[in-house]
């Protein structure tokens, strides 16, 4: 209706009068234009809705892309961090292996030294045992010879007191010898 009033105003401004046929033609054109405009308006509204949906989808995709990029950056930082940790751990492993090898070598050296000390100790103990046996034998021999000397002294004094009556026996190892005084 507003269009109709506008058209009439324009005509009145121009003082331009339309015949009844022209007016009828105008009205039919106007009706067909309104019908065509409805379809076009519906098409326009449909396109606008599709555009809004496409814009929303585009925004969602942009957000997803941004999220994926942030995740990618985070993963890259994590990879870098893990690579650094790996390098540090590998260096630590190398250091610990070197220390282990050093300690193994030290242990082998100490075991070798203990073996040498044990061998020396065994040799010294053998020699000590030998010397101890010799000292014991020398002490026994000395005691026997001192006993024999005392016995001879006693027998000599007894012979002086009792001449020709005393029999003297001595034992050397497994043999025994006897003599009369």
Give residue-wise pLDDT tens across range 79-114.
Answer: 999 999 999 999 999 999 999 999 999 999 999 999
Question: Which residues lie closer than 8 Å to 180 by C-beta, 6 or more apart?
Answer: 164, 166, 167, 168
In the structure encoding, which two tokens stand for residue 55, read together? 């814009």
Q: What is the DSSP letter of 170?
A: E
| pTM, entire model | 0.42
More confident residue, 135 or 61: 61
pLDDT at 17: 63
DSSP string, 69-113: HHHHHHHHHHHHHHHHHHHHHHHHHHHHHHHHHHHHHHHHHHHHH
């Amino acid at each position: 209706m507003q269009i109709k009033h506008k058209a009439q105003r324009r005509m009145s401004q121009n003082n331009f009068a339309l015949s009844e046929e022209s007016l009828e033609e105008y009205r039919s054109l106007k009706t067909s234009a309104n019908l065509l405009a409805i379809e076009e308006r519906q098409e326009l509204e449909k396109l606008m809705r599709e555009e809004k949906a496409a814009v929303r989808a585009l925004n969602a995709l942009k957000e997803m892309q941004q999220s994926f990029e942030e995740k990618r950056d985070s993963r890259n930082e994590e990879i870098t961090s893990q690579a650094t940790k790996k390098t540090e751990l590998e260096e630590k492993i190398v250091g610990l292996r070197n220390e282990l090898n050093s300690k193994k070598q030290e242990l082998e050296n100490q075991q070798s030294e203990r073996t040498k000390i044990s061998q020396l100790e065994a040799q010294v103990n053998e020699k000590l045992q030998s010397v101890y046996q010799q000292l014991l034998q020398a002490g026994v021999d000395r005691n026997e010879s001192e006993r024999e000397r005392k016995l001879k002294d006693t027998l000599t004094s007894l012979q002086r007191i009792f001449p020709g009556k005393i029999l003297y026996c001595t034992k050397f190892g497994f043999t025994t010898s006897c003599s009369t005084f």
